[in-house]
A and B are shown apart, each in its own frame.
Chain A
């Protein structure tokens, strides 16, 4: 036997598959899509005691019925013999329900190990599970398990090796008898298939007959019933139960969340509280961003003293260090959000929130749990984009990410009112509020309309039936590790993207004389003036609008550079506030027509959030095509909004 084993993880969403996958493979993962499919492919490797393993996290499905793309992929993967061993993961705290997948696996001739995950939860609930008895009945290894406890991985892997070497497969004998008794459709199919299915096929005749029969209305019901009867027979007498008791405060919170009148309000409060906690936790890491800002002055002075050319000093002080500032501060928030949301998910609160907002979100083609990442978008869109990992299906996740771009982030919400107040006074603030209240739902609905059918077709939509898991005690350590991995990942990727873009912006706006008229951007901007005018913005505002794609904070810096006379203001240096310090947006009021200003503000609100979000979207969707499509959509949308607002304002004002 080769010292390399290929393991496939099979189980329902939320069975803890991903936890085990992440725990086993750590950073040795390759995540992409199955060729030509809107389903995520997660492969990873790990090594232990000199043996190497390839681990494939199959898409979370409820059965092997091949009714959805996920299920077809799962079935094909097993049928092709890609895995030496299949680990079927079930939730020990809900054994009778989660064993259905195993019933559906019976008859597959690939060695199999049953993992009873969340044994700790089951024990907390007072459930005792006799794994040995279950092992005798099933004839395959049964491992009591806690996926977020790495000390158990060694034992699991040794069982996996044994299963592969001994070829312990799950016999279909017992379930065949039940199928025969329950399902005439199965009998009919089996009579035909018994002779034709070869002994080397990875699914035997019993399994294939069940799946043929399940493709009909009656067969689906009778075979489903047969599998449930099999589960009941296997599980009978396996578990003994003492009374269920959740911690008192969770019971009270649950009552509040489930309340018909207050539920949604409590749900939003929980989300906002989580957001606040995320900010507090992320704050120390976000503070790191201040270091490059504080260093920029001394470094600039130092470099000049050393005789470095002026443009290099300018680039490092107002380009490179600003990049560091953005990356570190956003990364800190993402860390906080990843940790807090991971915690809520593990406790079981995410599922409750999903239940509360399912009705609202299903109008957008999304499950209710996207409410939490959406709200985190008000802090930072990178957090909302990465937070969409809670969505199980890839298509829905991409759709959710696209919609989350419509949520204006913290910087947008500080920049836009600043400008609006400077130009329009309190009336401007009112306009901004109106823009928020009307704009966000409209843009979301429109985006869902445009992308919904391709990403989450009605026939494939999940979340119709959802389980509310029992409350779990969270495990902080693995969550911390996960959040930290996400943090460093974001830092690396954001840094790469933003450096390139910053370099381009800086080069375009650099002017040797310090006057904006000598920069490339002036030449381009004035050349584009006829086009931008059509959409309602003069070239200066249009350039500031473009700078907003770099980062929303850059808008103030860009306005300062374009309208003020601040000599050292460039398009990207606003982060420290230094460039904007000598500039008051109030001068805009005298230089910009009200209609043009309104057009600019509305376009800014719903434009591409920033390049870091584009980068995060690319790494989360691993689809260049969709990242480009979504970016183009928002850019065009912003221009259209600008056009409409401009012309409406001309009529009204």
Chain B
């Protein structure tokens, strides 16, 4: 298990666990980022938010928040 900010671009991952305060958790679930969700990391450039594709949408998530999203790679 790793965190979303450490995933290489092009990888498909499943969310295992999310940490953080309730405000962040609510915001994450409102865009579909809950345990079990499948997403593809599109870009992970240095010093930029991580770009993921999930639920019809391209999402940009700040690195700091990515560090509290634990994911597992999907084969």
User: B10 near A: Cβ within 8 Å?
Assistant: no
User: A215 near B: Cβ within 8 Å?
Assistant: yes
Known: A220-B26, A468-B51. A260 touches B59 (CB 8 A): no
Taken together as a complex, chains A and B put the C-alpha atoms of A68 and B29 apart, in Å, by: 15
Query: When each residue 50-94 of chain A gets 1 if its CB lies under 8 Å from chain B and 0 otherwise, what string results?
Result: 000000000000110101100000000000000000000000011
Query: When each residue 276-301 of chain A gets 1 if its CB lies under 8 Å from chain B and 0 otherwise, what string results?
Result: 00000000000000000000000000
**Residue of chain B at shortest CB distance from A459:** B23
Known: A97-B55, A465-B31, A468-B51. A224 touches B60 (CB 8 A): no
Known: A95-B56, A96-B55, A220-B29. A225 touches B46 (CB 8 A): no
Taken together as a complex, chains A and B put the C-alpha atoms of A470 and B56 apart, in Å, by: 9
One of A96, A223, A228, A465 near B65 (C-beta < 8 A): A465
Known: A225-B35, A225-B36. A359 touches B48 (CB 8 A): yes
User: A467 near B: Cβ within 8 Å?
Assistant: yes
User: A355 near B: Cβ within 8 Å?
Assistant: yes
B29 touches A228 (CB 8 A): yes
Chain A residues in 8 Å Cβ range of B59: 465-468
Interface size on B, residues (CB 8 A): 35
Taken together as a complex, chains A and B put the C-alpha atoms of A220 and B17 apart, in Å, by: 12
B34 touches A221 (CB 8 A): yes
Best-buried of A12, A95, A464, A467 by chain B (most CB within 10 Å) = A464
B24 touches A464 (CB 8 A): yes
User: B75 near A: Cβ within 8 Å?
Assistant: no
CB distance from A197 to the nearest CB of B (A): 22
Query: When each residue 32-68 of chain B gets 1 if its CB lies under 8 Å from chain A and 0 otherwise, what string results?
Result: 1111110000010111110100111111111011000
Taken together as a complex, chains A and B put the C-alpha atoms of A95 and B56 apart, in Å, by: 8
Chain A residues in 8 Å Cβ range of B26: 62-63, 65, 67, 214, 220, 224
A62 touches B31 (CB 8 A): yes
Known: A63-B26, A214-B22, A355-B49. A225 touches B34 (CB 8 A): yes
Chain A residues in 8 Å Cβ range of B46: 260
One of B25, B55, B60 near A358 (C-beta < 8 A): B60
A97 touches B35 (CB 8 A): no
**Residue of chain A at shortest CB distance from B65:** A464
Question: For residues 73 through 124 of chain A, which have their beta carbon under 8 Å from a beta carbon of chain B?
Answer: 93-97, 100-101, 104
**Residue of chain B at shortest CB distance from A465:** B61
One of A221, A263, A459 near B29 (C-beta < 8 A): A221
Chain B residues in 8 Å Cβ range of A96: 32, 55-56
B23 touches A467 (CB 8 A): no
Chain B residues in 8 Å Cβ range of A220: 22, 25-26, 29
One of A67, A223, A228, A355 near B60 (C-beta < 8 A): A355
Taken together as a complex, chains A and B put the C-alpha atoms of A215 and B26 apart, in Å, by: 9
Taken together as a complex, chains A and B put the C-alpha atoms of A465 and B62 apart, in Å, by: 6
A467 touches B18 (CB 8 A): no
B56 touches A221 (CB 8 A): no
Chain A residues in 8 Å Cβ range of B18: 221
User: A472 near B: Cβ within 8 Å?
Assistant: no
Interface size on A, residues (CB 8 A): 41
Chain A residues in 8 Å Cβ range of B60: 355, 358, 465-468
**Residue of chain B at shortest CB distance from A354:** B60
Question: For residues 248 through 266 of chain A, which have their beta carbon under 8 Å from a beta carbon of chain B?
Answer: 258, 260, 263
Chain B residues in 8 Å Cβ range of A161: none
Taken together as a complex, chains A and B put the C-alpha atoms of A12 and B59 apart, in Å, by: 15
**Residue of chain B at shortest CB distance from A356:** B48
Taken together as a complex, chains A and B put the C-alpha atoms of A221 and B36 apart, in Å, by: 11
Chain B residues in 8 Å Cβ range of A68: 23
A97 touches B62 (CB 8 A): no
A468 touches B45 (CB 8 A): no
CB distance from A9 to the nearest CB of B (A): 18
**Residue of chain B at shortest CB distance from A225:** B34
Best-buried of B30, B31, B47, B61 by chain A (most CB within 10 Å) = B30
B30 touches A358 (CB 8 A): no
B25 touches A217 (CB 8 A): yes
User: A227 near B: Cβ within 8 Å?
Assistant: yes
Chain B residues in 8 Å Cβ range of A356: 48
One of A94, A97, A221, A464 near B27 (C-beta < 8 A): A464
B48 touches A260 (CB 8 A): yes
Known: A62-B30, A100-B32, A466-B60. A358 touches B22 (CB 8 A): no
User: A216 near B: Cβ within 8 Å?
Assistant: yes
Query: When each residue 3-25 of chain B gets 1 if its CB lies under 8 Å from chain A and 0 otherwise, what string results?
Result: 00000000000000010001111
Taken together as a complex, chains A and B put the C-alpha atoms of A260 and B48 apart, in Å, by: 8
One of B24, B29, B43, B64 near A227 (C-beta < 8 A): B29
**Residue of chain A at shortest CB distance from B55:** A97
Chain A residues in 8 Å Cβ range of B27: 62, 464-465
Taken together as a complex, chains A and B put the C-alpha atoms of A68 and B46 apart, in Å, by: 30
A-B contacts, 18 of them at CB < 8 A, read A62-B26, A63-B26, A68-B23, A94-B56, A95-B56, A97-B55, A100-B30, A214-B22, A216-B22, A217-B25, A220-B29, A464-B24, A464-B62, A465-B28, A465-B61, A465-B65, A467-B31, A468-B57
Q: Across chains A and B, which 3 residue pairs bring their CB atoms closest together, nearest first?
A: A224-B29, A62-B30, A260-B45
6 further A-B pairs in the complex, CB-CB below 8 A; given A214-B26, A464-B62: A100-B32, A220-B22, A221-B29, A224-B25, A465-B33, A466-B59
